[in-house]
Amino acid sequence: MKTIAITGSSGFVGTNIKSFFSKKDFDVISIKREDLKNKAKLLSIIEKAHIVINLAGANIINRWTDSYKKLLYSSRIDTTKALVHAMTKAKVKPELFISTSAVGIYSNKDCYDEEYFEYADDFLSTLCKNWEKEALKAKELDIRTSIFRFGIVLGKGGALEKMLLPFKMGVGGTIGTGNQHFSFIHIDDLLNAYKFVIENVDLNGVFNLTSPMPTTNKGLTKALGTALNRPTLLPVPEFMLNLIFSEGAKVLTDGQCVEPKRLVDSGFVFKHTTIDETINSIVNRK
């Protein structure tokens, strides 16, 4: 039995990963916040782990005050530094380190993959770049290292749960013009992508975890309205989101178009490709 050690295990993705791999005869250990501050405890966990999955990070959808930006940074970069430092000290090192990033690293000027891309020049992109830089230091320790750049993960709970309420009440609608890109992934495909990379030992480096058919906010809105049989007539003005979230509103109003070229080229098969099928399978899942 192989052991997976995971940070951020109490979040939406983390709880799903724990459940998924526990059912596949992995021993899954949660790395808690207090463990990250206890070097001896963290080292003992790392030395037991065949695979380390790093999901830690404060919720990106929030009001980005100066203090919250520091939290976004420390919860990602400092956590990753602690993990890599423990790997450096470990007598028995993990076989694989999978760290997280986000498609917010990319510009919104075009549709990008892992080989053709342009990075944005803003806080979120810089955060992602620094996050990845720290994670990739594990590669210098001869540990197979991968970075998973998440799109919006859709499943029961998480971001979709917050989206559903206004639509169920019949007051859902586009955000702003609705023309901004929306790159997403079904939680089932995300879990299977982890399994795929774990099992294929020749795979490493950066992978976009997004559906091969990105949509727009309009596409998402239409899919939600259809699945719930509710009207989608009331757009949310961008200025309202700016008032609520300040700079953090960019996460909702300024999406990226991203494709998972490396996963597809490696032979991974997505079960859920379109936004309509993805939303319908979640909303109407028994």
Residue ranges and CATH numbers for the domains of the chain are: 3-219+242-283 (3.40.50.720)
pLDDT of residue 239: 65
pLDDT for 158-175, tens place per residue? 888 877 877 777 777 888
**Three-state DSSP string of the chain:** CCEEEEECCCCHHHHHHHHHHHCCCCEEEEECHHHHHCHHHHHHHHHHCCEEEECCCCCCCCCCCHHHHHHHHHHHHHHHHHHHHHHHHCCCCCCEEEEEEEHHHECCCCEECCCCCCECCCHHHHHHHHHHHHHHHHHHHCCEEEEEEECEEEECEHHHHHHHHHHHCCCCCCECCCCCEECEEEHHHHHHHHHHHHHCCCCCEEEEECCCCCEEHHHHHHHHHHHHCCCCCCCECHHHHHHHHHHHHHHHHCCCEECCHHHHHCCCCCCCCCHHHHHHHHHCCC
Residue in the block written with tokens 């899919």: 223
pLDDT of residue 164: 80
Lowest mean per-residue pLDDT among 55-69, 164-178, 181-195: 164-178
Mean pLDDT of the chain: 92
**pTM for the full model?**
0.94
Lowest mean per-residue pLDDT among 50-54, 94-98, 110-114, 238-242: 238-242
pLDDT of residue 248: 67
Does residue 252 carry a pLDDT above 90?
Answer: no
Does residue 204 carry a pLDDT above 70?
Answer: yes
pLDDT-based confidence at residue 73 (cuts at 50, 70, 90)? very high
Give the Cα separation of 78 and 248 in Å (integer): 21
Does residue 240 carry a pLDDT above 70?
Answer: no
pLDDT for 41-60, tens place per residue? 999 999 999 999 999 998 88
